[in-house]
Amino acid sequence: MLALADCNNFYVSCERVFRPELENQPVVVLSNNDGCIIARSNESKALGIPMGAPVFKVEDQLRRQRVNIFSSNYPLYGDMSDRVMSTFEASVPHVERYSIDEAFLELSARNEAERFSECRDLRSRVRRHTGIPISIGIAPTKTLAKVANHHAKRHPDCGGVFELGDAGKRDEVLGATEVEELWGIGRRTGIKLRRAGITTALDLQRADVSWVRREFTVNGMRTVLELRGEPCIELEMAPPAKQTICSAKSFGQLIQEWDPLASALTAYLTQAVDKLRRQQALTSTMQVFAHTNRHRRDDPQHACSVLLEFSPTDYLPELARRAVQGLRPHFREGMRYQKAGVLLLELIPRSQRVGHLWDDPEQLEKQDAVMSVMERVNRRWGRRTLNLASAQDTQQWCMRQNRRSPGYTTCWSEIPVAHAG
């Protein structure tokens, strides 16, 4: 049997771990540059605060209802996620990290009573180790495990764990599940299914497989089979290698000069190369871009992009030089740029690097040594401890994070201090 373990209101829960007085209080977390609401506590949901709402549209409501507001703190959330996933990996035979707050687990227990005991112990262990509450859905397939997890979250009487193994229980829950709520069913697919008279997950489970395959391809057929308890989507022990890596962000304020834009570009590239090296890959093509804010109709508009090709590499200083020099001729002084980024393409494993006649082996070794030292220093002392000088943060392009919580577990200067009375 499989289980889907999902952290409850993950970003909000991370904030509450270090601010326990926020328990049972309405809390929301904002997107980049404090733009939109991307996470809500159950109390905020009960107040009718919409997901994805721009902050400026609901600011009065948030103030009136005394909602606690946080800027997104992704380094903290990433670290807390690693702690949760490490607890999973130390507790069950196989774990597939599905997202920052979800994982599919392979359970070792053979009967329902043992599985319930195993999962409840796991919930307690995660809460004890990290402070994060989780819900667990148990089922023979991934799609059903997703459904079971949603049921566990919506029904407190389940105690955070629900199994969808029994056929009678399965039909009852699927009959109460809207078809759009199923894993892999998007809005457009949901509309098409409803036109065909399929409104619930149970309707889809009972649909003709050949018709579903014809109308919704093999993925739709797999969903139907999974709803019937036939596993079609295997557990992935290791995430598949990425084919592209993108790092792009909107600036905290509009930029009109080249130097701050080049600094931001280098910082974003640093993040992309960090992901590239963690994947043990090299890139031989890079797209670099920047553009103004198309929603500001009164401002002159401009978008620039350049595609650069080179020998496969993961050497940050060389990539940064190429990115900055490549985009500079296309930059227009005086334009109010809103966003910039890089896209690494044509990724290959490091082991498949093909040398050229003019390659200098000693130079390649030195480059790898430099990158390895940067990684060790930053792993030991924190992100950006050792960085390219051109990538230093400035108020001109850093994201607005006026309500960011401290880096409780990711920054030495912000670690909580306990004082003995």
- pLDDT tens-digit profile of 352-403? 887 666 777 888 889 999 999 999 998 888 777 888 888 776 667 777 888 9
Percent of the chain with pLDDT over 90: 72
CA angle 84, 88, 89 (to 5 degrees): 115
Q: Are strands 37-40 and 68-70 parallel, antiparallel or unpaired?
A: unpaired
Residues 220-245: tens digit of each pLDDT: 999 999 999 999 988 876 677 789 99
What's the predicted TM-score (pTM) here? 0.82
- The answer to whether residue 235 is domain-embedded is no
Evaluate if residue 341 carries a pLDDT over 90.
Answer: yes
- The answer to whether residue 67 is domain-embedded is yes
Average pLDDT, the chain: 91
Angle between helices 187-195 and 209-227 (to 10 degrees): 120
Instruction: State the pLDDT at residue 269.
Output: 95
Residues 150-196: tens digit of each pLDDT: 999 999 899 999 999 888 889 999 999 999 999 989 889 999 999 99
How does residue 275 score in pLDDT terms, banded at 50, 70 and 90?
very high
| Same-domain status, 158 and 173 | no
Instruction: State the pLDDT at residue 381.
Output: 80
- What CATH number corresponds to the domain at position 290? 3.30.1490.100
Evaluate if residue 197 carries a pLDDT over 70.
Answer: yes
Closest CA to 170 of 207, 205, 135, 197: 205
The three-state (H, E, C) secondary structure of 310-344, written as one string:
EEEECCHHHHHHHHHHHHHHHCCCCCCEEEEEEEE
> With contact defined as beta carbons under 8 Å apart, do 119 and 137 qualify?
no
Instruction: State the pLDDT at residue 357.
Output: 67
Domain range for residue 219? 167-228
- What CATH number corresponds to the domain at position 193? 1.10.150.20
| Same-domain status, 145 and 6 | yes
Evaluate if residue 82 carries a pLDDT over 90.
Answer: yes
The CB-side HSE value for 268 (13 A sphere, CA atoms) comes to 29
Instruction: State the pLDDT at residue 395.
Output: 66
User: Number of folded domains in the chain?
Assistant: 3
Residues 45-57: tens digit of each pLDDT: 999 999 999 999 9
Evaluate if residue 9 carries a pLDDT over 90.
Answer: yes
Phi-psi region of 197 (alpha: psi -120 to 50; beta: other; left: phi over 0): left
* Number of C-beta neighbours around residue 134 at 10 A: 28
Chain-centroid distance of CA 87 in Å reads 19
Q: Are strands 27-30 and 134-139 parallel, antiparallel or unpaired?
A: unpaired
- The answer to whether residue 191 is domain-embedded is yes
Number of residues written out for the chain: 421
Closest CA to 138 of 170, 99, 93, 94: 170
CA angle 22, 23, 26 (to 5 degrees): 65
> With contact defined as beta carbons under 8 Å apart, do 180 and 190 qualify?
yes
How does residue 346 score in pLDDT terms, banded at 50, 70 and 90?
very high
| Same-domain status, 208 and 315 | no
- The answer to whether residue 400 is domain-embedded is no
